[in-house]
């Protein structure tokens, strides 16, 4: 089953600073949604709010599956995973990093072993299984964070600039994995990216944030091909928007 998300007038402020202002939109189940926007436009804030790490000061966020609304709580938290902008890995081996969440979910030892091996292989990290996470390069750490999330088979996967530090081969690998999750597992993916080409390649839906507001959202082809807002047109053609 996969989850969809609905934001209704959602606002998040840090003290007097409004980072997200009355955002209303949905992230459909089993699709890849890409959040675009300049630095400081509220993308990470939006992802953290959807991951239940920021409490909206206004509006609401609802989660739905095929049976209807899903109540907030631990059971819901276990169905979604956030890969944050700065890869957060535990201070242990890459193997243990991936195994940890699987143990917490009560998988058997042989199942964990198999799932971790598969994740290491998918991330091109098998040779680094026993390296400590702190010794990984930036791109390797991002690959480890991504396959660790994949190993959990979340129904809702939240990715904040997941390929920003990756080399071109890593980007191809990561995009292949994200497509597989959508197409094989029906995972709902919401991802932040600064890479317009990546959004075009990968996303079903595109959302443009600017100064905490949702400027426009729609199908990827339309957002790039015939945007309704001048700001969107400028942004998707790589022009200055500040």
Residue ranges in contact with ligand ATP by CB under 6 A: 14, 17, 19, 37, 39-45, 85
Going by their DSSP bridges, the two strands 17-27 and 32-36 should be labelled as unpaired
Q: Locate 241 and state its tokens.
A: 């928007």
Closest residue to Mg ion using C-beta atoms: 44
**Which option in Mg ion, ligand ATP, none does residue 45 bind, with CB closer than 5 to 8 A by kind?**
ligand ATP
The distance of closest approach from Cβ of residue 121 to ligand ATP in the complex, given in angstroms and rounded to an integer, is 30
Give the E-state strand segments of the chain in sequence order: 4-14, 17-27, 32-36, 58-65, 68-70, 80-83, 156-160, 188-192, 205-210, 213-219
The distance of closest approach from Cβ of residue 159 to ligand ATP in the complex, given in angstroms and rounded to an integer, is 12
For Mg ion, give the closer residue by CB, 156 or 191. 191
Q: Locate 190 and state its tokens.
A: 């919401």
Q: Is 139 helix (H, G, I), strand (E, B) or coil?
A: helix
The distance of closest approach from Cβ of residue 214 to ligand ATP in the complex, given in angstroms and rounded to an integer, is 12
Contact 231, 210 (CB under 8 A): yes
The distance of closest approach from Cβ of residue 25 to Mg ion in the complex, given in angstroms and rounded to an integer, is 18
**Spatial CB neighbours of 142, under 8 Å, sequence gap ≥ 6:** 87, 162, 163, 164, 165, 166, 170, 174
For ligand ATP, give the closer residue by CB, 85 or 93. 85
**Which option in Mg ion, ligand ATP, none does residue 40 bind, with CB closer than 5 to 8 A by kind?**
ligand ATP
Going by their DSSP bridges, the two strands 32-36 and 205-210 should be labelled as parallel
**Which option in ligand ATP, Mg ion, none does residue 19 bind, with CB closer than 5 to 8 A by kind?**
ligand ATP
DSSP 92: S
What gap in Å lies between CA 164 and CA 57, rounded to an integer? 30
Residue 81, interface with Mg ion (CB under 5 A)?
Answer: no
**Spatial CB neighbours of 170, under 8 Å, sequence gap ≥ 6:** 124, 139, 142, 143, 163
* Ranges within 29-48 binding Mg ion (CB under 5 A): 43-44
What gap in Å lies between CA 203 and CA 183, rounded to an integer? 12
For ligand ATP, give the closer residue by CB, 15 or 225. 15
For ligand ATP, give the closer residue by CB, 24 or 108. 24
Q: Is 131 helix (H, G, I), strand (E, B) or coil?
A: coil
**Which option in Mg ion, ligand ATP, none does residue 81 bind, with CB closer than 5 to 8 A by kind?**
none
For Mg ion, give the closer residue by CB, 119 or 206. 206
The distance of closest approach from Cβ of residue 120 to ligand ATP in the complex, given in angstroms and rounded to an integer, is 28
**Which option in Mg ion, ligand ATP, none does residue 4 bind, with CB closer than 5 to 8 A by kind?**
none
Residue 220, interface with Mg ion (CB under 5 A)?
Answer: no
The distance of closest approach from Cβ of residue 67 to ligand ATP in the complex, given in angstroms and rounded to an integer, is 32
What gap in Å lies between CA 22 and CA 11, rounded to an integer? 5
Interface residues toward Mg ion, by CB under 5 A: 43-44, 85
């Amino acid at each position: 089953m996969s989850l969809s998300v609905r934001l209704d007038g959602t606002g998040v402020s840090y003290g007097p600073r409004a980072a997200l202002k009355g955002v209303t939109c949905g992230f459909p189940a089993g699709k890849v949604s890409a959040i675009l926007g300049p630095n400081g436009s509220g993308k990470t804030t939006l992802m953290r709010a959807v991951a239940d790490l920021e409490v909206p000061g206004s509006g609401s966020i609802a989660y739905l599956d095929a049976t209807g609304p899903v109540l907030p709580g631990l059971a819901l938290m276990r169905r979604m995973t956030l890969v944050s902008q700065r890869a957060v890995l535990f201070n242990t081996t890459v193997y243990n990093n991936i195994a940890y969440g699987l143990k917490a979910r009560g998988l058997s030892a042989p199942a964990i072993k198999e799932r971790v091996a598969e994740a290491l292989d998918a991330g091109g990290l098998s040779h680094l299984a026993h390296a400590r996470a702190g010794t990984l390069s930036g791109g390797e750490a991002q690959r480890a964070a991504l396959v660790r999330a994949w190993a959990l088979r979340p129904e809702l996967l939240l990715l904040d600039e997941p390929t920003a530090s990756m080399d071109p081969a890593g980007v191809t690998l990561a995009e292949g994995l994200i497509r597989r999750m959508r197409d094989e597992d029906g995972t709902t993916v919401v991802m932040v990216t600064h890479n317009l080409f990546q959004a075009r390649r990968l996303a079903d839906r595109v959302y443009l944030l600017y100064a905490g507001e949702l400027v426009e959202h729609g199908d990827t082809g339309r957002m790039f091909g015939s945007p309704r807002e001048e700001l969107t047109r400028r942004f998707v053609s790589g022009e200055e928007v500040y």
